[in-house]
Amino acid sequence: MARKFGFFQRVVASLAVAGMIPALLVPGAALAQRDPAYAAARAAGQVGEKTDGYLGFVTPPPPPLKAVINELNIKRKAVYAEKAAAAKATVEEYALTSGCLLISQTKPGEKYQGPDGSWQTRTSAPPLRDSRCP
């Protein structure tokens, strides 16, 4: 009997562990999502990707949105700084490179900053980018 219970316990335990794995992954997956306020502002064209690798305001933002975007830009700068140091580059160089890629990744209808500094709306055509962009 003891062996049987042991078997069942193992099965139950393994099922429980298997059930926990997706539960552990869910918070990680949730973190990989954009903040809903940011996602909505981006889709509405209130916020756009700048050439310098940071987010900018296309229209004057309401204070709550301004706070959300400023925080994202601070987080971006922290990531740029860390990665730039590892790559023996300056934060500005790393940020500009990221800006090139982020502008390429914009979806039609989203806003991005053109090489002349003006706000552009992304179409299905390739975006207007800095001549140094890869």
Interface residues with another protein (CB under 8 A)?
31-35, 52, 72, 75-76, 79, 83, 87, 89-90, 92-94, 96-98, 100-102, 105, 130-134
Indicate the SS3 state at residue 15.
helix
* Cβ neighbours around 65 below 10 Å, total: 18
- Evaluate whether 103 touches 50 at the Cβ level (below 8 Å): no
Which residue lies nearer to another protein by CB, 26 or 87?
A: 87
Which residue lies nearer to another protein by CB, 33 or 124?
A: 33
Please report how close the Cβ of residue 122 comes to another protein at its closest, in angstroms.
Answer: 15
Please report how close the Cβ of residue 101 comes to another protein at its closest, in angstroms.
Answer: 6
Strand-pairing partners, residue 119, are 113
Which residue lies nearer to another protein by CB, 5 or 78?
A: 78
Please report how close the Cβ of residue 81 comes to another protein at its closest, in angstroms.
Answer: 11
Alpha-carbon gap, residue 16 to 9, rounded angstroms: 10
Alpha-carbon gap, residue 53 to 94, rounded angstroms: 8
Indicate the SS3 state at residue 47.
strand
Which residue lies nearer to another protein by CB, 14 or 71?
A: 71
Please report how close the Cβ of residue 13 comes to another protein at its closest, in angstroms.
Answer: 33
* % helix, strand, coil for the chain, step of 5: 55, 10, 35
